């Protein structure tokens, strides 16, 4: 993805603030100069084991400037029940996550977090690949035109952000985690 396409409105991720688990506002400009992997997550999803891969990626690249920003979301089949603290306790206890986890958000609809509205508007759906045989019909039931818009389709959609705040890549939940790792490795070089 090129920077011009991602900043057609002159914005980048550093122009947004998000809500921490404690309710405080966190300006993403705090992460200037870092490579970011922004992920909407869920604790009761078939993709939840990706937390383990995300932690491995974080461990490997955090000292080279990577931050993974985790945003629990309960919009997809209510797979992220519980409070922010309950979700965090589960993720820390089960997967040992040490990367920042923020307050639960919506990524779709009129209550969608502005950051995710921006990410969705400035990226294209990458397809589900062979795993789409299962996920495609479920998503189509929620969004008949899902193949033709940038809306987040499911939990564990990932957005890779460069050190300048521009969007480098988008990974659907079905993307192989080694591809995500390789893209992160290239971005932190």
Structural Rg of the chain based on CA atoms? 15
The backbone region for 126, taken as left when phi is positive above 0, alpha when psi lies in -120 to 50, beta otherwise, is alpha
Residue 45 burial (CB count, 10 A): 18
The strand pairing partners of 158, in sequence order, are 39, 171
Best CA proximity match to 34, nearest among 177, 166, 176: 166
Does the annotation mark 45 as catalytic? yes
DSSP, res 117: H
SS (H, E, C) 148-171: HCCCCCCCCCEEEECCCCCEEEEE
What is the set of active-site residues?
A: 45
């Amino acid at each position: 993805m090129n920077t011009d396409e991602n900043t057609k409105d002159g914005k980048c991720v550093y122009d947004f603030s998000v809500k921490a688990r404690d309710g405080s506002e966190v300006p993403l400009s705090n992460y200037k100069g870092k490579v970011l992997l922004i992920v909407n997550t869920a604790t009761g999803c078939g993709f939840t084991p990706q937390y383990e891969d995300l932690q491995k990626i974080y461990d490997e690249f955090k000292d080279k400037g990577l931050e993974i920003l985790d945003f629990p979301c309960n919009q997809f089949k209510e797979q992220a029940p519980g409070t922010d603290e309950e979700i965090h306790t589960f993720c820390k206890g089960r997967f040992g996550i040490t990367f920042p986890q923020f307050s639960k958000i919506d990524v779709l609809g009129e209550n969608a977090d502005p950051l995710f509205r921006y990410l969705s508007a400035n990226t294209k759906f990458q397809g589900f690949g062979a795993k789409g045989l299962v996920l495609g019909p479920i998503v189509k039931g929620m969004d008949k035109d899902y193949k033709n818009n940038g809306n987040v389709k499911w939990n564990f959609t990932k957005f890779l952000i460069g050190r300048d705040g521009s969007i480098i890549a988008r990974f659907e939940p079905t993307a192989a985690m080694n591809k995500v790792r390789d893209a992160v490795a290239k971005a932190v070089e």
